[in-house]
Amino acid sequence: MSGVELLLQPSVLPRLLSGLWVTVWIAVVSVAGSIPVGLVTGWLMTRRNAFVRFLMRLYLDFIRIMPQLALLFIAFYGLARLWNWNLDATGACVLVFILWGGAELGDLVRAALQSIPASQYDSAYVLGLSTWQTYTRIIIPLALRRMLPASVNLATRIVKTTSLAVLLGVVEVVKVGQQIIDVYRFRCPDGALWIYGAIFLMYFFICWPLSLLARHLERKWSHD
């Protein structure tokens, strides 16, 4: 059996797609969870209170220095052993990716907020806007535009990093691929190339629309 025939087997593509759904689910929930965490973290990072800033610094550096794989193992095995807090594999992944995405996004938010010149705040106050109005109507829209490219980059990184979930036993698209390769390893020895090729395309078609969206928004917001 050739590799193309393997992909056309009735059960192969549906199974890969069901694996892809697990990948997409973890990625979407993680990215969605990272947004509020990142916004709050970024806002806290710009506070004057030295203690709050120190805590946020600690959080960011801890997450940034630790490899994601180590964090995943801590969340999956470590928490269970230390406090009998038994997250399932998917839950451990989502927790780690939200903490990671939140920290990284928080830093992007911080950088964007700090890059807004003080004159913008001053002008807003002069116009009689309250602090809340200044943030929601002036500062955040401006900051959002500046952090957009890096944020989309972060989202695609989260999508790709979900493949580490396989090491916790989550049966996502890569693992399903390996299972198919294994079942067909006698009948289709060169199946690996085709299955991994199909998985590559699947990741591409998830991450590509994100890039398109980012480009679209950038263009739209750069007018007027």
Partner 1 sequence: MSLTLTTVRKATRTIAALATAAIMACGLAACGPKAAVPSDSSASASGSASSNAQARSLDEIKSSGVLKVAVFSDKAPFGYVDDQGNYAGYDVVFAERLAKDLGVKPEYTSVDPAARVDVLTSNKVDVVLANFTVTDDRKEKVDFADPYMKVSLGVVSPNGAEITDVSQLDGKTLIVAKGTTAETYFEQNYPNVTLQKYDQYADAYNALLDGRGDAFSTDNTEVLAWAKSNSGFTVGITKLGDAQTIAPAVQKGNTELLDFINSEIKQLGTENFFHDDYKQTLEPVYGDEVNPDDIVVEGGVVD
CA distance 94 to 29: 7
Asked if 88 touches partner 1 (CB under 8 A), the answer is: yes
Report the residue number, 81 or 215, with the smaller CB distance to partner 1: 81
Name which of residues 104 to 123 contact partner 1 (CB under 8 A): none
Binding region for partner 1 (CB under 8 A) out of 43-51, 56-64, 142-150, 205-213? 142-150
Which one of residues 77, 149, 150, 210 is an interface residue with partner 1 (CB under 8 A)? 77
Q: How many of the other CB atoms lie within 10 Å of CB of 166?
A: 19
Cα dihedral sign, 92-98-99-104: positive
CA distances from residue 127 to 116, 155, 224 in whole angstroms, order as listed: 17, 36, 21
Residue 146 tokens read as: 């500046």
Q: Which of 114, 130, 131, 136 binds partner 1 (CB under 8 A)?
A: 136
* Cβ closest to partner 1, residue 89 vs residue 198: 89
Task: Report CA-CA distances (Å) from 50 to 46, 53, 221.
Answer: 10, 5, 35
* Contact residue for partner 1 among 1, 5, 121, 137 (CB under 8 A): 137
> Which listed residue (41, 90, 161, 162) binds partner 1 by CB under 8 A?
90
DSSP codes of every residue in 92-158: HHHHHHHHHHHHHHHHHHHHHHHTS-HHHHHHHHHTT--HHHIIIIIIHHHHHHHHHHHHHHHHHHH
In the region spanning residues 189 to 208, those forming contacts with partner 1, defined by CB under 8 A, are 189, 192
Binding footprint of partner 1 on the chain (CB under 8 A): 9, 11, 15, 18, 21-22, 25, 28-29, 31-33, 35-36, 76-77, 80-91, 94-95, 136-138, 140-142, 144-145, 167-169, 171, 175, 178-179, 181-183, 185-187, 189, 192, 217, 221, 224
